[in-house]
A and B are shown apart, each in its own frame.
Chain A
């Protein structure tokens, strides 16, 4: 099926943000594993996997709309040196992702592409969940202190 005006470009833009996020979260997860924070590793790794599922869906949808998925382009990967820095970088990435997705939803509604619109809405819902989780972690750290927080992340 032929895509509506600007939808392929939009989907490729989201794909770029997604591929960047996969790498960023995966590096953060593996750093947590390396530091011995098993619980955090599991959680952050699963967020990376969520992004991968989104990328899978996006690539499939771009092909269905007879476009070419741009898997070549990658944004800047922001890697934190510490757990709080990682949260800060991930939160920023998720907020940017939410912005691109909500702009995309508006564009699809205007262009009359309701399938893509629903897909992006579902993705935005997941991003909302991720933002909520990161903000909760940051709040917990500010309440119990970083040391206490991290010592809870050692065991699964």
Chain B
């Protein structure tokens, strides 16, 4: 899914940004440029949704690790 149409950001972009800059709201806003001119401001308003998204595993980018609490340590599968 696209999460931001102003910037054309998909879920995978959020995961990538969270990985390089961290999933803190301020880091996401800055690294993704969510306060740039021409942005509608919805993402900043609902930044907690992006933070939540950043902390779930993305199946499109194999780099992003699964959060420890959702990972079955024995089988390696997601709960």
Chain A contact residues, CB within 8 Å of chain B: 76-81, 85, 89
Contacts and interface: CB of A to CB of B under 8 A. Distances in A.
A80 B5 contact: no
Interface range for B: under 10
A81 B1 CA distance: 5
B1 A76 contact: no
A100 B10 CA distance: 28
Given A77-B5, A89-B1, 12 more contacts: A76-B42, A78-B1, A78-B2, A79-B1, A79-B2, A79-B5, A80-B1, A80-B2, A81-B1, A81-B2, A81-B10, A85-B1
A27 to B, nearest CB: 8
Contacts of A79: 1-2, 5
Interface in B27-61: 42
A99 B1 CA distance: 23
A37 B1 CA distance: 19
A89 B3 CA distance: 12
Contacts of A77: 5
B53 to A, nearest CB: 13
A85 B3 CA distance: 12
A17 to B, nearest CB: 16
A85 B2 CA distance: 10
